[in-house]
Structure 1
Amino acid sequence: MNQITDLNNLRLFAEVIEHGSFTAAARSLGVQTSKLSRRIRALEEELGVRLLNRTSRTLSLTETGRQFYQHCAALVAESVAAKDIVDQTRTTPQGIVRMSCPVALMTAGVAAIISRYVQDNPQVQVLLDATNRRVDVIEEGLDFAIRVRLPPLENTDLAFRQLGVSVQILVASPALIARHPAPSSMESLSDWPTLAMSSNNERFVWNLVDSKGVVTSWVHQPRLATDDLASLRVAAMQGTGIALLPKELVDADIKAGRLRHLLPDMATTPGLVHAIFPSRRGMVPAVRHLLDALVAGFEEMSRQ
């Protein structure tokens, strides 16, 4: 399919017709009349037809030029409409936001934050991939992905924004606690059944820090190991064993009495909850405002 070399010439042609002369069009566009005239003549030469009848005083369209102008005017109108869409997305939250988030964080409160955001911004559609796998935001076309990592964060070409922190604590069901003496240290848990996240080398270690900053590492053999935190939470509530779970995931269970916090002066090193995204440049309001909502939501959860 043959295409015009420079589509800008179509816009220039439309401007000449709309202004009625080369001089008026050149003045409006801020270019020299002679340069504008050369561009239109080059367009005619490229097309192989005459579009305009020129005299020293008048300017009129040929029949071919009249039909050609209708398409040029439509092209200009579409380009204006396209720019309007971009301008709107730069000022008002609207459009599609593609993101991913670990399942446990969704359960712990991210789902509620996103739900409120969507209600407050009816022109925004959020497409969420709730997954525990490590996603590639660029390869998969995501606007951002939420991750939890221990500091320092890895070096990457991606931009990131911290949303909050996450610590893990030891919890168990009241029924399980009733069957064992009250624990006073990690070592006193040796007779308790445990639950754990899956391990590639099948070696299970809990590293906890006390209020004085002393780290205790405890090796154990769990009754159940899985990569799904939600399943560990359910198993803990059923009394299957002690679990090390994110505080935000089990806060409501502790308040309701479904779980109890063991060794409350010990927890994991805080992990950084952060969003990673390709670049801060050109971020549309729908994405930027959703990140703001997530930051505010994590701050609210930390105060509860």
Structure 2
Amino acid sequence: MLNLNDLRFFVVAVANGGFAAAGRALGVPKSTVSKRVAELEQALQARLVYRSSRSFTLTDAGRDFYEHARAALIEAEAAQEAVQRRVAEPSGTVRITASVPTAQQYLAAHLPALARAYPRLHVQLEVSDRMVDLVQEGFDIAVRSHFAPLPDSGLVQRPLAVEAIVLVASPAYLGAHGAPVSPVQLSVHDGLLTGPAAATWRLSGPGGERVEVAPLPRMTVNESMVLLGAAMAGLGIVPLPEALCRAALASGQLVRVLPDWTAGSVTTTLLMPARRGQLPGVRATVDFLVQCLQPGAAAAPGAQ
């Protein structure tokens, strides 16, 4: 079997018209090029080049061999590039976990584009409101929305978005009950609550004021989309992430209540085990989601 490097020395020598020029092109001594071509001739048991101090001429066999050798090098380079492209292209399975609202409001709009961008990547999304253990259950990425900072779990955390929680209600509700003009008036309004522990709303004002108020509990639901629908149906006032109700606000189905006040914020964070983040498929997925899931890229989910 011929040495492919010897073919390269020979092809470069022919292309440059001699051993000295080939040596300069390859960054090696002229004697190295001459020796390698001589070894190639010995392996072929055929003379490829007529040598003299003033000329460098191919034999008939040399001309035939040159055409095949040049083609072989081109094919070898193409083969190398094909493998490099395949290795560089993200592939394999990437397992993602997210809560129901997070999947609906963030991931549903973007995962098809991720699949189109990386055809050899197999994304597995498990939608669950339970707190999944990424390491123990073999997940690569979690996308979580939360009100309080996440505990230090040894996972890599990449914040994606922080959004204000605003008070909204339907025009029909406000028409029937009146619009509160101060936070204290919320205590006589119907409130749509996210859970039994959320009976008291902690509000922040434009000047940094902080007020706690307890509305009348009209409905308690631990799912943001249901609360959104209840508010549009005129059942009461609800605190929701601003982006979640952006479309309803734009269409007039909902309006802001006490627009200078907010009820905290919700943060959406991407988490992953450090070692899994080194896999090309996981890195590509993380970079894609970080680019897509920025404020304004999609409606934000409620915290789960």
Smaller-chain TM-score bracket: 0.5 to 0.7
Local SS of the residue matching 1:241: coil
- Cα distance change of structure 1 residues 215 and 302 upon mapping to structure 2, 3 Å threshold: farther
Q: Which residue of 1 aligns with 2:174?
A: 177
**In the alignment, structure 1 residue 266 sits paired with structure 2 residue 261:** yes
- AA aligned to 1:265 is D
**Secondary structure, aligned partner of 1:268:** coil
- CA distance 1:241–1:139, shift in 2 (3 Å): same
The verdict on how the C-alpha distance between 1:90 and 1:197 changes in structure 2, with shifts beyond 3 A counting, is: farther
1:93 matched to 2:90? The reply is yes
Superposed counterparts of 1:116-131, under 5 Å: 116-131=113-128
How much does 1:114 deviate? 1.9
Cα distance between partner residues in 1 of 2:244 and 2:198: 24
Which residue number in structure 2 is paired with residue 105 of structure 1?
102
Report how far residue 151 of structure 1 moved. 5.4
Does the C-alpha gap of structure 1 residues 89 and 191 become closer, same or farther in structure 2, counting only changes over 3 Å? Answer: farther
Q: In 2, Cα distance between the equivalents of 1:101 and 1:247?
A: 20
Q: For 1:145, which of 133, 138, 142 is the aligned residue?
A: 142
What letter corresponds to residue 291 of structure 1 in structure 2? V
**SS, match of residue 129 in structure 1:** strand
**After superposition, where does 1:229-268 map in structure 2 within 5 Å?**
229-268=224-263
> What residue identity is the alignment partner of 2:98?
C
Q: How many residues align?
A: 219
- Describe the superposition over 1:173-229 as per-residue Cα deviations: whole angstroms up to 9, x where unpaired: 121111122221121222321111123xx5611112122222221123421112111
Distance 1:87 1:266, change over 3 A: farther
What percentage of residue pairs aligned between the two structures are identical? 32
Q: Which residue of 2 aligns with 1:211?
A: 206
TM-score, structure 2 as length reference: 0.65
Write the distance in 1 (CA, Å) between the matches of 2:278 and 2:213: 44
> What's the counterpart of residue 135 of structure 1?
132
Matches of 1:303 and 1:203 in 2, distance apart?
26
Aligned to 2:5: none
Instruction: State the structure with more CA Rg.
Output: 2
Counterparts of 1:282 and 1:154 in 2: how far apart (Å)? Answer: 19
TM-score normalised to the size of structure 1?
0.65
Q: 1:221–1:178: structure 2 CA closer, same or farther, 3 Å change rule? A: closer
2:191 to 177, 191, 194: 194
Contact 1:90 1:284 in 2 (8 A): no
2:263 and 2:88 map into 1 onto residues whose CA distance is 41
Deviation at 1:294, TM superposition (A): 2.1
What is the root-mean-square deviation of aligned Cα atoms in Å? 2.7
**Residues 87 and 127 from structure 1, CA distance in 2 versus in 1: closer, same or farther, beyond 3 angstroms?**
farther
Query: What's the counterpart of residue 14 of structure 2?
Result: none
- 1:281 Cα deviation from its structure 2 partner: 6.0
Change in CA separation of 1:138 and 1:190 when aligned onto 2, cut-off 3 Å: same
1:99 Cα offset (Å): 0.9
Distance 1:210 1:115, change over 3 A: farther
